[in-house]
Amino acid sequence: MNEKRIRPLLIFVLSVFGMAQALGACNMPRKAKPTEPPVGPIFTAAAQTVDARMTSVSQPPPTADFPTPLPGVTAVTPPGITPQVTGTPPSADFACDRAEFVKDISVPDNTRVNPGETFVKTWRLRNNGTCTWTPAYALVYQGNNELKAPASVQLTTSTVPPGGTIDVSVTLKAPDAAGRYRQDFKLANASGQRFGVDDGSKTFWAQVQVAAQSGIVYDFIANADEATWKSGAGDTFDTDLAFGGADDDPNGVAKVVEEATLENGSTSGKVLLIVPKHVDDGAVIGLFPAYTVQTGDAFRANLGFIIAPDGACHAGRVKFELLYQEGATVQPLAEWRKACDGNLIPVAVELSRLKGKPVQFILLVRADGPYHDDWAVWNSPRIQR
């Protein structure tokens, strides 16, 4: 799509979604008299996820290299604790305050977890110093916050005398991207001074392997009711469109249907039906919830039409467009012109250039001239890995 066509799209996003949009259209000859729409229920492929398996391994050396962390989340600080997330925190008197790592109670090192999964890590620690641990002591994360640890967690509600043991737990969250992630921890005394294990200066940690998903990782039909839908004509989208509205709405239609007869004679499962606004070059556009693209992701779908009750395609002719929005910028990915000719078009768009970016995908259907008989469907639109 050239620069001349991208500029109107930017105007659309700023005026309708509050952002830029790059859209264009062409006029085609008038079509036959509209036919009544055949509509019905649906099917979509289910998302597949990777099974998270627990694999126990020994603790790796604390000097290992790990991926870039994600930001932390703030938690309530227990009385007497002033966690220091940045800079170098003060060290405790290691003769008084010192811990010993006994064992992992849950989530041993390199346990496989799913992207974005929340889990509870528990260690067993021994008080290896000469001072009693009180409710004013806390667990605090050290360095970068790889696993979204809270700022601090109260260590105990009672006391742990020298030589005593305690199970310490913290709720963590895996990043969305696949890879190995580690979060280091220490303890802090009532004065906020930090201490660890062994000689008192060493950290203990949680380390997980975030598994890469495969199969369908984003289902546009499942997310369609969360999208923002608009209709309009040309390059102007000035009408809010309720998802799942009436089939004869002159402002257009965006809904999921099933068991509809497609132009190739097959009966559909769940499909996303889009009918443009009832004007020449009428269009319907949907801005979907954000998704972070990963390695191996590709957009896939089959494009076509629902046919009339008499089994004919009639004059259906549209343009399907796939775009994405990143921040305030909208960019085109692909477009396909389609006439109702008895065949569905399988499409695939490789998304590697968007790897690691949280983007909002945009599905658009535009009448290629008059809107008559434009009962267009995105069949199984998805991101597949």
pLDDT of residue 134: 98
Q: What is the CATH number of the domain that holds 259?
A: 2.60.120.200
**Does the pLDDT value for residue 5 go beyond 80?**
no
Same domain, 71 and 129: yes
Q: What is the CATH number of the domain that holds 54?
A: 2.60.40.10
Same domain, 56 and 203: yes
Handedness of CA 190, 192, 196, 200 (dihedral sign): negative
Using DSSP, state whether 12 is helix, strand or coil: helix
CA–CA separation, 45 vs 36, rounded Å? 28
- Under a CB-based contact definition with an 8 Å cutoff, are residues 11 and 20 in contact? yes
Same domain, 134 and 222: no
> Exposure pattern of 158-177 as b/e (b: 16+ CB <10 Å)?
eebeeeeebebebebebbbb
With tokens 């078009």, the residue in question is: 345
Same domain, 206 and 182: yes
**Does the pLDDT value for residue 208 go beyond 90?**
yes
Our count of domains for the chain comes to 2
Same domain, 111 and 200: yes
At which of 153, 185, 212 does a domain end? 212
Which comes out higher in pLDDT, residue 144 or 3? 144
Same domain, 83 and 22: no
Same domain, 73 and 222: no
Q: Render 226-276 in DSSP notation, one character per residue.
A: GSEEEEEETTEEEEE--TT--TT-TT-EEEEEBSPBBTTSPBPSSEEEEE-
What's the whole-number mean pLDDT along residues 207-216? 84
Which comes out higher in pLDDT, residue 227 or 315? 227
Give pLDDT tens digits for 18-75: 443 433 433 333 444 444 444 433 223 333 332 333 333 333 334 333 233 333 333 3
At which of 189, 212, 235 does a domain end? 212
Using DSSP, state whether 293 is helix, strand or coil: coil
Give pLDDT tens digits for 76-93: 333 333 344 445 567 778
- The first and second tokens of residue 339, run together, are 């006439």
Give pLDDT tens digits for 224-242: 999 999 999 988 899 999 9
Q: Which amino acid is at 296?
A: G
Of 156, 167, 155, 139, the C-alpha closest to 83 is: 139
Percent of the chain clearing pLDDT 90 (strictly above): 63
Of 264, 262, 242, the C-alpha closest to 252 is: 242
**Does the pLDDT value for residue 315 go beyond 60?**
yes
pLDDT of residue 89: 67
Same domain, 365 and 230: yes
Domain that holds residue 278: 3-48+215-384
Same domain, 312 and 249: yes
Which comes out higher in pLDDT, residue 186 or 212? 186
Which comes out higher in pLDDT, residue 166 or 15? 166
Same domain, 260 and 312: yes
Same domain, 171 and 96: yes
Same domain, 139 and 259: no
At which of 182, 212, 242 does a domain end? 212
